[in-house]
């Protein structure tokens, strides 16, 4: 009997302050414990050029269209230099954000509209989407409180108003409804322990699916 392995591609999404980063160490610890290799990467960024674009896009005022195009420019590099080679090697890929973030932030938050972002998606990465997208869903009011209690300078997105994040959140939830087969919507208002229980359940399912007899 031959074994076919398909390493999964996992993305983490949510509004700023929803707490996705809290769960990253537990996710890769879990993947490692199962005996799989993994990479942890992020968007915008993940490559030398992508990280330069990240610095620009997070800090420089620009048109919404410019912002969307820069996200996809960074993404094109990320896909070809990092994501696809890792999946080809059989490594699990965990990315802090992928193109659902562009749909939510540029399409929803910046009000460019979903269809323009979808056009960029189908141009940049036709046929490539995560196998699992963990959406950390939280009300913008609670997320803002969490951001305030954190330290460090805030970037252009973190400085946005609650109404911006209302639109981002709505676009994420809409996207989750559109692609229920890959989205897991997590109530990020719960304790990290409770959120982790749901994540672990779905990672188990993904593991079984990734190794087909
Ligand atoms: P984030 O992932 O929150 O990183 P950190 O946790 O280090 O602050 O920061 C990336 C920001 O970029 C976040 O505010 C969302 C935004 N973003 C977009 O607007 N569109 C995109 O396509 C991506 C990938 C990110």
Task: Single out the residue of 136, 109, 184, 132 nearest to residue 18, CA to CA.
Answer: 136
CA 145 to ligand 1 centroid distance, Å: 18
Maximum average pLDDT range among 20-24, 77-81, 149-153: 77-81
Give the chain's mean pLDDT.
Answer: 94
Ligand 1 in contact with 28 (CB < 6 A)?
A: no
Q: Is residue 3 part of a domain?
A: no
Per the structure, the complete domain to which residue 41 belongs is given by 9-212
Q: Is 41 in the pocket of ligand 1 (CB under 6 A)?
A: no
110 occurs within a structural domain: yes
Query: Residue with the nearest Cα to atom 14 of ligand 1?
Result: 157
Contacts of 106 by beta carbon, 8 Å cutoff, 6+ apart: 64, 67, 68, 71, 112, 117
The response to whether residue 55 sits with its C-beta less than 6 Å from ligand 1 reads: no
Considering the domain boundaries, does residue 170 fall inside one? yes
For 110-137, what is the mean pLDDT?
97
pLDDT band at residue 4 under the 50/70/90 scheme:
low
In a domain, 4, yes or no: no
pLDDT, one tens digit per residue, over 100-117 is 999 999 999 999 999 999
Nearest residue to 90 via CA among 36, 132, 41, 128: 36
Nearest atom in ligand 1 to the alpha carbon of residue 43 is: 24
Number of domains in the chain: 1
196 found inside a domain: yes
Distance CA 56, CA 49 (A): 11
3-state secondary structure of 33: helix
Does 119 fall in a domain?
Answer: yes
Q: Is residue 145 in some structural domain?
A: yes
Task: Give domain status of residue 1, yes or no.
Answer: no
The CA 212 to ligand 1 mean position distance, Å, reads: 34
For atom 20 of ligand 1, the residue with the nearest CA is: 102
Residue in the structure block whose two tokens are 């108003």: 161
Percent of the chain with pLDDT over 70: 96
Phi, psi of 142 (to 5 degrees): -65, -40
pLDDT digits (tens, 9 = 90+) for 156-186: 999 999 999 999 999 999 999 999 999 999 9
Residue 135 belongs to domain with CATH number: 3.40.50.300
- How would you classify the pairing of strands 38-42 and 9-14? unpaired
Q: 137 CB under 6 A from ligand 1?
A: no
């Amino acid at each position: 009997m031959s074994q076919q392995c398909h390493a999964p591609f996992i993305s983490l999404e949510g509004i700023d302050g929803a707490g996705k980063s809290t769960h990253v160490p537990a996710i890769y610890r879990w993947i490692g414990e199962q005996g799989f290799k993994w990479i942890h990467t992020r968007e915008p960024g993940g490559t030398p050029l992508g990280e330069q674009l990240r610095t620009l896009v997070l800090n420089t005022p620009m048109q919404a269209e410019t912002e969307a195009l820069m996200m996809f420019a960074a993404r094109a590099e990320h896909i070809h230099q990092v994501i696809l080679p890792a999946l080809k090697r059989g490594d699990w890929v965990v990315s802090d954000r992928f193109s659902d973030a562009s749909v939510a932030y540029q399409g929803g938050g910046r009000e460019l509209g979903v269809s323009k972002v979808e056009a960029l998606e189908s141009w940049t990465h036709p046929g490539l989407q995560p196998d699992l997208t963990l959406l950390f869903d939280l009300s913008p009011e609670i997320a803002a409180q969490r951001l305030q209690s954190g330290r460090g300078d805030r970037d252009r997105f973190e400085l946005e108003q609650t109404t911006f994040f209302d639109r981002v959140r709505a676009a994420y939830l809409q996207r989750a409804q559109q692609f229920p087969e890959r989205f897991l919507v997590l109530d990020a208002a719960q304790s990290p322990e409770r959120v982790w229980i749901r994540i672990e359940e779905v990672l188990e399912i993904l593991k079984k699916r990734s190794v087909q007899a």
